[in-house]
Amino acid sequence: QSNFNQKIDYVFKVVLIGDSAVGKSQLLARFSRNEFSIESKATIGVEFQTRTLEIDHKTIKAQIWDTAGQERYRAVTSAYYRGAVGAMLVYDITKRQSFDHVARWLEELRGHADKNIALMLIGNKTDLGSLRAVTTEDAKEFAQRENLFFMETSALDSNNVEPSFLTVLTEIYRIVS
């Protein structure tokens, strides 16, 4: 793939939020580089990854921001949200607490982000179905109530990773175009 002289029509900043260890960094690795690592280290230094794709014959550069482990200290700052047109709020389907915290993340997001931001709830780690602690129905119901898109994914086996990012990016495109 040659990026030489590629004309970019839009750059969309999308932020990943949610509790530590839910799989945000691996979802991003899967989407941006088609990679996954079991021994994922807390991201240090790297602020975002990009991937360029086509939506509706337009060239979109998706700039996906990943928290550098600050979620543990609740120090995700307004700079992180600044300019974001999309957000993916991730929980782990095997960790009830990470789902219970979604409401808190949503509150923080709504306090910092633009009103028109495209929001998606992601239940990650579907490959660990036998350890499931959050039903699809509970999450779906929450998402409907809060007016969020919703999908379950696995960064490990790639289930729904591409469709979930595409859903957010397409919704952003719909909002801005």
Q: Does 95 bind ligand GDP (CB under 6 A)?
A: no
> According to the binding rule CB under 6 A, does residue 164 interact with ligand GDP?
no
- Residue 79 engages ligand GDP in binding (rule: CB under 6 A): no
Q: 85: closest CA among 135, 11, 140?
A: 11
Cα four-point dihedral sign 29, 31, 35, 37: positive
Is residue 43 at the binding interface for Mg ion, with CB under 5 A as the rule? yes
Decide the pairing of beta strands 86-92 and 10-17: parallel
Show the CA angle centred on residue 45, arms to residues 5 and 171, nearest 5°. Answer: 55
Q: Tell me if 156 contacts ligand GDP by CB under 6 A.
A: yes
* CB of 125 vs ligand GDP, minimal distance in Å: 4
Is 170 a binder of Mg ion (CB under 5 A)?
no
The answer to whether 150 and 140 are in contact (CB under 8 A) is yes
| CA distances for 41 relative to 23, 59, 67, angstroms | 11, 32, 12
25 makes contact with ligand GDP (CB under 6 A)? yes
Name which of 38 and 79 has its Cβ closer to ligand GDP: 38
**Segment contacting Mg ion by CB under 5 A, of 35-43, 87-95, 96-104, 110-118:** 35-43
Give the count of beta carbons closer than 10 Å to the beta carbon of residue 74: 8
Verify binding: residue 154, ligand GDP, rule CB under 6 A.
Answer: yes
In the bound state with Mg ion, the residue whose beta carbon lies nearer, of 29 and 139, is: 29
Tell me phi and psi for residue 3, to 5 degrees.
-100, 5
Binding-site ranges for ligand GDP (CB under 6 A): 20-26, 38, 40, 124-125, 127-128, 154-156
